[in-house]
Structure 1
Amino acid sequence: MRSIIPVILSGGSGTRLWPISTAASPKQFIALAGEESLLQQTVRRARAAGLVQAPILIANRGHDALLGEQLRAIHCMPARLIFEPVGRNTAPAIAMAALEAPSPDALLLVMPSDHVIADVPAFAAAIERAAPQAAAGWLVTFGITPDHPETGYGYIRCGEAICQGVHQVDRFVEKPDSDRAARMIAEGGHCWKAGIFLLRADAFLEAMRLHAPAMLTAVEAALASATREGRRIDPDADAFAAIPADSIDYAVLEKAARVAVVPTAMGWSDLGSWDALHAIGSRDEADNLSEGEVKALDSRNCLFKSTGPRIAAIGVSDLIVVATGDTVLIAPRGRSQDVRRLAGQESPSATREAATAS
């Protein structure tokens, strides 16, 4: 555990939690599930799980100042801080981390910066189960034991057991409709995709060279022409823009032969929607989650969150109401996945601010 290097992916935009999460300040930099931001909690969680190595962080160049401020607040000095000029999804980001690893056989624990894991001992135990297989060259992903037929997640079907608590991946399943999700839950042997991976750097690069050679070549070119200052790495913008964008799942894992999954229940949530926040939050006796200045009367099963004006509600149910200084979002519970369709209409000034130096 002491030799595993955390790799924290912090380039996401968090559009499903608009209007609190914006292009200029996406959800990983916001305290949505505690007093610290999700990014800060991710760094602390790695330490609490026994990962003492300094992390490699991959972030959007436009978030430079915000990232530095939050890392200093928790006394985190990254081993590498790699700034993406533009987003290219997870496969190129992880390839950069593998290429910048201190040794070819380094074990990299790749995790998003905007997830919640409530049971850190279970998280640590899952990493320990995965480590021998990752050290042997398997590409290991973590699967969340499902407790309901969720349609917003991809699934993994567990295959033959490799050892106790570790299975070969039989297949990946795209986000299913409700009927198919219910069938998979009833069948058993399926996990939600958590987007967390344990990989040996050279094994991942070898798999990329086999299954996504053009992408890896483009990543190598962007790093070869990068500006480097201490721990900071700024890949060349033009070279980086030429990298094909794809996820690790599509580019590598669905094609590779030695892919394993560790099923675990660790109180995980990707906080991918306002409904997800309602599910993990501290609700009152009427099942309302209220944060900020809120007054609610005879209302049930709602999420009320304000960072600005007071929210006052009477006799409503199954609503999401989110208020910021200049925007109020109102939506029925169950429709929060559609919020990203509105997020693209945020003010041009916010978009320009996030794109600075891109």
Structure 2
Amino acid sequence: MVICNEQHRFIVAEQLRQLNKLTENIILEPAGRNTAPAIALAALAAKRHSPENDPLMLVLAADHVIADEDAFRAAVRNAMPYAEAGKLVTFGIVPDLPETGYGYIRRGEVSAGEQDTVAFEVAQFVEKPNLETAQAYVASGEYYWNSGMFLFRAGRYLEELKKYRPDILDACEKAMSAVDPDLDFIRVDEEAFLACPEESVDYAVMERTADAVVVPMDAGWSDVGSWSSLWEISGPTPPRATFATEM
């Protein structure tokens, strides 16, 4: 299932075809409302598709880079028992430098789980730090980069959203109650969705719920959020291909 802005629908559909992926579950947002509403639309669609159970949702951004796919899969497998038990899992990236461009997650006590699985209670989400603070975070060994990737049951997310931001859930339910199938796309009700407040999933749910856990991940992750990170993942470039531009 893919969520995107309606203006990007044909690009997204073509990219999915190039990857040999199904394209009939592309949900179109008439306008961006941040991650909490986008995930709510996906959760409502997942519940509608599988009404007899509460499916797991692995929530990923489209523009992140994951270099070590085996490590990524291992972290997801590690997280699954917690999500199946009703926890809301976020993946914390093991930091290898004091990055000031990411938010951080401070881990708490070890969360009880199955043998050979590791997760921690979330003690705190913290905003992007200055360099000195980031250095202290990395040195402590208690902090992870906030990846913005999650694993949870669709219904559990909706339950927590109803508890903490019922206004968002109400708007998304109205938007999904009058969907308009359009070829490969699912168009939500524009008027209802435009009335939805903008909010991130962190602020709406993850920082408030008592059921958040963090699973460590060391998979060569980057959100490609800066020119320097783009340079790092691009590899060597011939000198004549280098250019400069104003930001």
Give me the TM-score of the superposition, normalised by structure 2.
Answer: 0.92
Query: What code does the residue aligned with 1:110 have?
Result: V
Greater C-alpha radius of gyration = 1
| Structure 2 equivalent of residue 132 of structure 1 | 81
What is the aligned counterpart of 1:165 among 118, 121, 124? 118
Query: Are 1:74 and 2:12 an aligned pair?
Result: no
CA deviation after TM superposition for structure 1 residue 228, in Å: 2.0
Give 1 or 2: higher helix fraction.
Answer: 2
| Structure 1 equivalent of residue 211 of structure 2 | 258
Which runs of no fewer than 5 residues in structure 2 stay unpaired?
none
| Structure 2 equivalent of residue 144 of structure 1 | 93
Deviation digits for residues 279-326 of structure 1, max 9, x if unmatched?
A: 22313xxxxx44xxx528xxxxxxx25xxxxxxxxxxxxxxx2xxxxx
Greater displacement, 227-236 / 194-203: 227-236
CA deviation after TM superposition for structure 1 residue 229, in Å: 4.0
CA deviation after TM superposition for structure 1 residue 232, in Å: 2.3
SS of the residue aligned with 2:105? strand
Q: Percent of aligned positions with the same letter in both sequences?
A: 46
CA deviation after TM superposition for structure 1 residue 81, in Å: 1.0
Query: Are 1:108 and 2:47 an aligned pair?
Result: no
In 2, Cα distance between equivalents of 1:131 and 1:79: 26
SS of the residue aligned with 1:295? helix
What is the aligned counterpart of 2:202 among 249, 257, 267? 249
What is the aligned counterpart of 2:9 among 64, 70, 76? 64
Label 1:170 to 1:211 Cα distance change in 2 as closer, same or farther (>3 A).
Answer: same
Query: What code does the residue aligned with 1:97 have?
Result: A
In 2, Cα distance between equivalents of 1:231 and 1:110: 21
In 1, Cα distance between equivalents of 2:18 and 2:109: 45
Q: Which has the higher contact order (CA 8 A, sep 6+)?
A: 2
| Structure 2 equivalent of residue 95 of structure 1 | 40
CA deviation after TM superposition for structure 1 residue 65, in Å: 1.6
CA deviation after TM superposition for structure 1 residue 231, in Å: 5.2
Query: Are 1:178 and 2:131 an aligned pair?
Result: yes
Q: CA RMSD in A?
A: 1.5
CA contact (8 A) 2:17 2:23 kept: no
| Structure 1 equivalent of residue 234 of structure 2 | 281
| Structure 2 equivalent of residue 352 of structure 1 | none
In 1, Cα distance between equivalents of 2:228 and 2:240: 20
What is the aligned counterpart of 2:240 among 295, 298, 304? 295
Greater displacement, 249-258 / 226-235: 226-235
Deviation digits for residues 87-136 of structure 1, max 9, x if unmatched?
A: 00000010011101133410000000001000000000000000000001
Which runs of no fewer than 5 residues in structure 1 stay unpaired?
1-55, 284-288, 297-303, 306-320, 322-328, 331-338, 340-358
In 2, Cα distance between equivalents of 1:74 and 1:123: 19
In 2, Cα distance between equivalents of 1:247 and 1:185: 25
In 1, Cα distance between equivalents of 2:83 and 2:32: 27
What is the aligned counterpart of 1:211 among 139, 149, 164? 164
Query: What code does the residue aligned with 1:61 have?
Result: E
CA deviation after TM superposition for structure 1 residue 239, in Å: 1.3
Give me the TM-score of the superposition, normalised by structure 1.
Answer: 0.64
CA deviation after TM superposition for structure 1 residue 79, in Å: 5.2
Label 1:78 to 1:260 Cα distance change in 2 as closer, same or farther (>3 A).
Answer: farther
SS of the residue aligned with 1:72? helix
Query: What code does the residue aligned with 2:108 have?
Result: G
Query: Are 1:83 and 2:83 an aligned pair?
Result: no
| Structure 2 equivalent of residue 50 of structure 1 | none
In 2, Cα distance between equivalents of 1:274 and 1:134: 35
Query: Are 1:191 and 2:144 an aligned pair?
Result: yes
